[in-house]
Structure 1
């Protein structure tokens, strides 16, 4: 005989648990503490099993019967309803552990940090994750499809951040590939989105390209009053034209005084390849002066308040502004364009030697490896010629390219 609500309410606790059956395997377990628990008894694979449905009155009689009917149908389909429930719960729990934010954080903190990537690169990756988190951070990686990813990226694009949107797509792609390797997702939904975002116009860093004006800048640096480490960074940067981040993160252990070479590890380079910088006599002298005003270990260009962190990325550009050079006239990154333009215009150096000095990659790996070795001697001569030429411009003696000692 089936139960009804009134008699269920009238069941009183006893010293031992007891059962009151409804129908189709559904029964109510009344416990000594007064709780009334729905359970479903069934057989699967010849074994009797029990499946809890919750407590009365939170789970009503009608709801308990609906759950019983669904479970009976599952059994009829050859599926164990208890095992299926556990699988669904595990899936939900796994989904919470494998959200985009969780997997992306793991990718950054374990893979990227483990590979020794530059702090600036890690900082940028964390920023990309921060931008994407509001839209997709809490979603399981395997639930994200191309349309969801495109919507998240389009939000960034709508703010005018075209370059950032493209870089976030690239970052997301790496996260999905990492997730696929871990087995938490099946594919990369961003792979087909490469042509779906607006291509930003190429950004050109402001740079001084006229020899006479470059001489004015060099004299302005000489006259600029500031923190000694900043002053020496401003003096060294025009000579070696590495990227600002590579300069700021330079470490004294990377400098070979005897061979006059600064070897920047692959992890600090944009192209992820070790880069050797030949140092002129002038640059070596500037580095000796820099060593005398720092502790001589760790960062070459430490921050003002601590030796444990590098100089701020805004320091050099802020110095140009204080010297009177606007952001449309000169940037720290602009020294690379300055050197590239004037070295090429001199007609004295092979274009590949200049490209190698700028640490620009070669799409042909074999050719790139050959050029690195073949142009080293020319790069050493070019480094000294460039420093001599800068001294000439700084003194205002000439703006014409000097002859090279070839």
Structure 2
């Protein structure tokens, strides 16, 4: 009958001295302490799996105590009872742990961002989204393994952004993060998207379009512009006036190079590549746009040319004249006038549309001037000459109407277009 090992105790383990050769102190059941000549002590478990004799390392004494070693032995025995090799199980868990530590939120987010940039995003969208991630998410969760990020943490992160009053930014970041988590789920790095459950927990954004005043507010807006013009840089003053007169998008005006402007013949054509619908990766609208400035608009451009005509852009960046001014120029001007949150650069388009409707112009003509109509809707003639004269007449009438309001000669709603 084989001799049973006497279980170890803490004192015996502690007092085990090194010898000339390694030796073992058995605790029974395959668990033993290996004592090396250098004095180091290692816990080992001897076991058989699939008819093979194997050894499992359980740690170094005294970091792993006798009690710890016995608990690890019990866990290993339970795996063996389930026909699982504890050594392979340990290696698999280490692999998962290593992968988890490497696959941080920032790493996966940048990988996802690169794929989207290469497949569908415009350069501007790519830059804006990365800036948002770097500013509002990476500082908080960037270094965390993505698999460890749960719903409560994301709620806390997004609510911190909400506290700034940036509800639209919060929603956009939630959408970006959700797409990243779904990408990680597809890659097998996590089990679910932690953003999905937050839909009802985040504050709702204010519904509607870009902030814009009503047509009835035109007289007060024009008074505010006139009152504040003396405090603005000349290009800023002119830019605000042109936004009012042209209906173009803020970027389409701010990023206009002088090469697109023909002051002598009073022609301004925006190449389709600069238009919103022309920038689409799929089925871009390849139709140039004619903004059609009224007489007052060309007067403003000639004045502007005296200030910035030597630069590449109508509105050059003050630090680098080879770059255009920031789109925020219009917003800042409106804010200083007391219209912060009530009016935006894009709001001038909505204001113009509403005003022209009250003046009796057909919606299709207004939409073409706003560059909203699709090339398919109007065929190849979308911007051909048979549409130009009526739009020119409309733009001049609109500018004259604004001029009459500023002079106090018009009461909103009573000025009608001549037949």
Class of the TM-score when normalised by the shorter of the 2 chains = 0.7 to 0.9
* Counterpart secondary structure, 2:28: coil
CA deviation digits over 1:62-107, x for unaligned, max 9?
A: 2112112211221221112222222222223333333444433443
Alpha-carbon contact 2:360-2:417 (below 8 Å) kept: no
Deviation per CA, 1:236-256: give whole Å up to 9, x if none: 3223333435544x2649959
Equivalent pairs counted in the alignment come to 394
Match of 1:376 among 383, 391, 397: 383
1:286–1:17 Cα change, 3 Å: farther
Superposition TM-score, scaled by structure 2 size: 0.72
Tell me, which stretches of 5 or more residues in structure 2 are unaligned? none
> How large is the Cα RMSD of the aligned pairs?
4.5
Question: C-alpha distance in 2, partners of 1:108/1:267?
Answer: 22
Report the CA distance shift for 1:385/1:220 in structure 2 as closer, same or farther (over 3 A).
farther
CA contact (8 A) 1:352 1:371 kept: no
CA–CA distance in 1 between the matches of 2:113 and 2:163?
27
- CA offsets 1:309-364 (integer angstroms, 9 cap, x no match): 54234422333455x55437754333122211112222223x24534554669xxx
**Does the C-alpha gap of structure 1 residues 268 and 4 become closer, same or farther in structure 2, counting only changes over 3 Å?**
farther
* Contact 2:311/2:322, CA 8 A, preserved across alignment: no
| Change in CA separation of 1:105 and 1:78 when aligned onto 2, cut-off 3 Å | same
Offset from partner CA, 1:246-272 (integer Å, 9 cap, x none):
544x26499597882343255997999
Q: Identify which of 240, 244, 251 aligns with 1:238.
A: 244
Aligned counterparts of 2:139 and 2:40: Cα–Cα separation in 1: 42
Give the TM-score taking structure 1 as reference length.
Answer: 0.74
In the alignment, the residues of structure 1 paired with residue 187 and residue 261 of structure 2 have an alpha-carbon distance, to the nearest angstrom, of 41
Partner of 1:72: 77
Query: Within 2, Cα distance between the matches of 1:10 and 1:81?
Result: 30
Q: How much has 1:129 moved relative to structure 2? A: 6.6
Greater alpha carbon shift after TM alignment, 212-221 vs 91-100: 212-221
Match of 2:348 in 1: 335
Shift of 1:118: 5.2
Q: How does 1:194-273 map to 2 (within 5 A)?
A: 194=199, 197-202=202-207, 205-207=211-213, 209-210=215-216, 212=219, 216=223, 224=230, 226-227=232-233, 229-245=235-251, 247-248=253-254, 250=255, 252=257, 255=260, 260-263=269-272, 264=274, 266=276
Gaps of 5+ in 1: 362-366
The SS at the match of 1:312 is coil
User: Does the aligned pair in 1 maintain the 2:245–2:399 contact within 8 Å?
Assistant: no
Q: CA 1:4 to 1:93, structure 2 compared with 1: closer, same or farther past 3 Å? A: same
Which range moves more in the overlay, 133-142 or 182-191? 133-142
Alignment of 1:113-132 (within 5 A): 115-117=120-122, 119=124, 122-123=127-128, 126-127=131-132, 130-131=135-136
Distance change in 2, residues 1:285/1:112 (3 Å) = farther
1:57 aligns with 2:77: no
Question: Please, which of 268, 279, 295 is the counterpart of residue 291 of structure 2?
Answer: 279
Give the superposition deviation at 1:61.
Answer: 1.3
